[in-house]
Amino acid sequence: MGIKRRQERTLRRDALSALPPSITSAGSASAAGDVGIDPYRLNHSRVTVIRPRRGKLLPDIAELWRYRDLLWQYVLRDIQVRYKQSMLGASWAVVRPVASMVVFQIFFGQLMGLQKQVDGVAYAVFVFAGLLPWQFFAEVVRGVSLSMIANAHILKKVYVPRLILPLSVIGAPLLDFACAFLVLAGLMWHFQVVPTANLALVPLLLLSVIVVSLGVGLVLASLAVWWRDFAHTVPFMLQIWFFLTPVIYPVSLVQNPHYRWMLSLNPMVGTMDAFRAAILGQPIQVETLAVSLAVGVGLLVTGLMVFNLSERHFEDVV
């Protein structure tokens, strides 16, 4: 009982310290009543005072863990409303990559003579194996970059750890990826592509894609809150990034070693090449993957720092 009373006194003292000096200097609950604060609630209720964290560059992981149930609820919300009132519903998760594969098969396969094989596999399987991680990456970057603007009503009404909102965006694209992966398995069976033990690396490589997409998305989300131009830049940036990444063409087309090293600085190049190699049973370029992983981790740390330093002002300018 003594511990409980001491805790209540501490909470009341914290609440008093958060009041204006005109109230705390009065030294009594009657002063609080003069400005509309219920003295009974002040003396008998537990008050939680939320202050911005200062001097820390990275977010509080322990706080995110305490709010894990809320994170799960936001993930479910995004999944439920993703294809709500849509005729095809969740089938869009399969329709989009399949339609893109057909288009690339026609224009790049038949018109450019790649319809038979690329790196020893059918071009349709080659392209589809690249479209899966790329579309996941693009969806996460697009969702994370707009997460703070889309949830402005939440930021202004109730406190939640700000990082929960961009993290919750990952759930729906991940479900789409799982559905489309089943189509890839059917294509591999049709074209007689036998997977190898490297297939077990797919979850780790998918985690690498999440790291890169979060890093890029958090930076864009922080900037888009202040300047809406960045929200309009995301589709244009992703379109250019698509052609700078070996999604519809193999890395082997880049023969110059200097250009190939510069290409590896794109964090999606090594990850994309390793992802496709793991699925199709081809050797993985460890050096290129290592450079892409290092760049991706750097992007994530930078994104977390920028987001953490900007989040205390989100509700003021969003």
Residue-level pLDDT at 89 = 60
Banded model confidence at residue 78, pLDDT cuts 50, 70, 90: confident
Q: Are 225 and 311 in contact (CB under 8 A)?
A: no
Which has the higher per-residue pLDDT, 105 or 193?
Answer: 193
Closest CA to 281 of 128, 98, 114, 121: 121
Q: Which of 26-35, 149-158, 167-176, 190-199 has the lowest mean pLDDT?
A: 26-35
Helix, strand or coil for residue 291? Answer: helix
Distance from C-alpha of 83 to C-alpha of 87, rounded to nearest angstrom? 9
Distance from C-alpha of 74 to C-alpha of 72, rounded to nearest angstrom? 5
Any idea which residue has 């981790």 for tokens? Answer: 297
Which has the higher per-residue pLDDT, 219 or 2?
Answer: 219
Q: Are 167 and 222 in contact (CB under 8 A)?
A: no
Q: Tens digit of pLDDT for each residue in 4-19?
A: 455 445 544 544 444 4
Determine the average pLDDT of the residues in 132-146: 91
Q: Tens digit of pLDDT for each residue in 242-254?
A: 888 888 888 777 7
Closest CA to 78 of 215, 158, 174: 174
Q: List residues bridging with 117 in a β-sheet.
A: 122
Distance from C-alpha of 50 to C-alpha of 224, rounded to nearest angstrom? 25
The predicted model scores a pTM of 0.76
Residue-level pLDDT at 315 = 61
Determine the average pLDDT of the residues in 191-220: 89
Angle at Cα 194 formed by Cα 192 and Cα 196, nearest 5°? 170
Task: Please determine, for residue 271, whether its predicted confidence score (pLDDT) is greater than 70.
Answer: yes
Cβ contacts of 209 within 8 Å, gap of 6 or more: 133, 136, 137, 140, 268, 271, 275
Residue-level pLDDT at 138 = 93
Q: Tens digit of pLDDT for each residue in 21-68?
A: 443 444 444 444 444 445 445 455 555 555 555 556 677 777 888 888
Distance from C-alpha of 17 to C-alpha of 23, rounded to nearest angstrom? 10
Determine the average pLDDT of the residues in 153-176: 84
Helix or strand (DSSP H, E) at 216: helix 202-226
Which has the higher per-residue pLDDT, 204 or 32?
Answer: 204
Structure tokens at 275: 């992802």
Q: Tens digit of pLDDT for each residue in 212-225?
A: 999 999 999 888 88
Q: Tens digit of pLDDT for each residue in 283-309?
A: 888 888 888 899 999 999 998 888 888
Task: Please determine, for residue 98, whether its predicted confidence score (pLDDT) is greater than 80.
Answer: no
Other beta carbons within 10 Å of 286: 10
